[in-house]
Amino acid sequence: MIPRPTPTSGNPGAPMNPEDVLLPETIKVGLKTKLIGQLICHYQTVESTNDTAKELAREGAPHGTVVLAERQTAGKGRLGRTWESAFGLGMWGSLILRPDLPPESIPPLGLIIALEVAEAIYLETALTALIRWPNDLLLGGKKVCGVLVETESEGLRVRAVVAGFGINVNHSFEDFSEDLRMTATSLRLCARRKVSRAPLLRVFLSAIEPSYELFLREGLLPFLPRLRDRSAVLGRGVSVETPQGRRRGKAIDLDEQGRLLVRDQNGCTEALSIGQVKILR
């Protein structure tokens, strides 16, 4: 049985602006999608929206289900890292997708999620967020959003994909822990005003549905021009920590599988499918 979502109303720490409360009835006003966001499960606090979404997916939650929380106590980042998720300040959510694709075709979805979050940020704030491959978003060189795509598979069949997104929306400088203040930022800090979360989420959900359907039909190829334009790393010197060791060189392109092409000082080019990027220059 799918758990009943817990509303935020009545929580003394909840945002007071009705447009800023991520309740289903608020988000659905003006939402023009066929499936994505038609079921929204909203919680005050969860350990991780991705973990909650995976549980819901196993229990039969349909394609397009959105899981939101005002706070995560064990938010998940890439490569086993944690993600700070203060109550009511960010957008902590996960999207359940059920693509008819083999597991090896799933990784580029993270780039598409990041791309459409960046587009939503631009439309709502006029801020241009750049993608640090594979799926972080930067504003002014600092991280404002992270995307984590996890696949639930059975053999060669994908049962569900859970695409998590964490956006720092209304954090002040003091809301970040000391070790993050030099590397993280928020939409509020960059736009110099508070940003309503519900409209931002509606724009994102409305954009991701047609993009997801296009990806199912044509793969990543139609998105490559936009991804190149939004890239924070292409043309830059990078150091990439991969499971096979550190790679250094110049990031020169993305291929149709979403891999980062890095050319080393000897002129050899390697296609990287996973890694943590540090921009050198």
44-97 confidence digits (pLDDT tens): 999 999 999 999 999 999 999 999 999 988 765 554 455 566 788 999 999 999
Query: Are 267 and 176 contained in the same domain?
Result: no
Query: Are 40 and 137 contained in the same domain?
Result: yes
Query: Are 153 and 184 contained in the same domain?
Result: yes
Query: Are 222 and 238 contained in the same domain?
Result: no
Query: Are 56 and 129 contained in the same domain?
Result: yes
Radius of gyration of the chain from its Cα atoms, rounded to whole angstroms: 18
The CA distance from 154 to 194, in Å, is 43
What is the chain's mean pLDDT, rounded? 90
Q: What is the pLDDT of residues 151-210, one digit of tens each?
A: 998 888 899 999 999 999 999 999 888 888 899 999 999 999 999 999 999 999 999 999
Q: Is residue 45 part of a domain?
A: yes
pLDDT beyond 80 at 11: no
CATH of the domain at 260: 2.30.30.100
Q: Which of 2-11, 37-46, 76-85 has the lowest mean pLDDT?
A: 2-11
Q: Is residue 259 part of a domain?
A: yes
Query: Are 189 and 274 contained in the same domain?
Result: no
Q: Is residue 10 part of a domain?
A: no
Query: Are 271 and 222 contained in the same domain?
Result: no
The CA distance from 149 to 110, in Å, is 6
Domain range for residue 243?
233-279
Query: Are 269 and 179 contained in the same domain?
Result: no
Q: Which of 17-31, 108-122, 247-261 has the lowest mean pLDDT?
A: 17-31
Cross-strand pairs, 133:
none
3-state secondary structure of 139: strand
Predicted pLDDT of residue 227 = 98
Q: Is residue 159 part of a domain?
A: yes
Answer whether 231's CB lies under 8 Å from 130's CB.
yes
Number of domains in the chain: 2
The CA distance from 138 to 145, in Å, is 7
**What is the model's pTM?**
0.90
Predicted pLDDT of residue 9 = 37
CATH of the domain at 189: 3.30.930.10
Answer whether 36's CB lies under 8 Å from 205's CB.
yes
Query: Are 139 and 261 contained in the same domain?
Result: no
Query: Are 237 and 167 contained in the same domain?
Result: no
Percent with pLDDT over 90 in the chain = 78
Q: Is residue 9 part of a domain?
A: no
